[in-house]
Amino acid sequence: MKYTEEHEWLRPEGDALTVGITDYATEQLGDIVFVELPETGREVKKGDEIVVLESVKAASDILAPIDGTITEVNQAIADDPSLVNSDPLGKGWFFRIKPAEGASIDGFMDEAAYKAMIA
């Protein structure tokens, strides 16, 4: 698994990456009450706002970590946003993205580097 400075995690699965947010991010946001997911098939560029989260504390955007195409979204969290808080590294994932040609996750942090960043 890799991590971004925006507190997202990326897990390679086949030719796609599953993307969610970390425990640290959910602690900062508080209870998530609404999730707006992107449409499947949407082509995104790194840094595009693609998920909108609303929590009891604030609204927040999840950004595309790389260029690619959204191949799947987790409808379960749209129906039950609390899954993001209760299982952010499992059932609380947001979307799967197929990286564009040449896109790589090599520059992202490993778990040790991410833990050092949030320490």
In a domain, 109, yes or no: no
What would the mean pLDDT of 84-113 be, rounded to a whole number? 96
In a domain, 95, yes or no: yes
In a domain, 110, yes or no: no
- What is the arrangement of strands in the sheet containing 59-63, beginning at the earlier edge strand? 32-36, 49-55, 59-63
Per the structure, the count of domains in the chain is: 1
Query: Under a CB-based contact definition with an 8 Å cutoff, are residues 113 and 4 in contact?
Result: no
Beta bridge partners of 9: 3, 20
What would the mean pLDDT of 28-53 be, rounded to a whole number? 97
In whole angstroms, give the CA distance from residue 61 to residue 50: 7
What would the mean pLDDT of 11-27 be, rounded to a whole number? 96
Write down the pLDDT at residue 62: 95
In a domain, 90, yes or no: yes
Name the pTM for this structure: 0.95
- Find the helix or strand (DSSP H, E) in which 97 lies: strand 95-99
pLDDT digits (tens, 9 = 90+) for 73-86: 999 999 999 999 99
Model confidence band, residue 110 (pLDDT cutoffs 50, 70, 90): very high
Write down the pLDDT at residue 5: 95
Domain boundaries, position 47: 2-102
Q: Which residues fall within 8 angstroms of residue 95, CB to CB, at 6 or more apart?
A: 18, 19, 37, 38, 50, 51, 70, 71, 72, 73, 74
CATH number at residue 48: 2.40.50.100
What would the mean pLDDT of 94-110 be, rounded to a whole number? 95
What would the mean pLDDT of 93-110 be, rounded to a whole number? 96
Write down the pLDDT at residue 2: 97
Write down the pLDDT at residue 47: 96
In a domain, 115, yes or no: no
- What is the arrangement of strands in the sheet containing 43-44, beginning at the earlier edge strand? 2-3, 8-13, 16-21, 95-99, 68-73, 43-44
In a domain, 72, yes or no: yes
> With the C-alpha atoms ordered 52, 54, 59, 63, is the resulting torsion angle positive or negative?
negative
In a domain, 39, yes or no: yes
In a domain, 111, yes or no: no
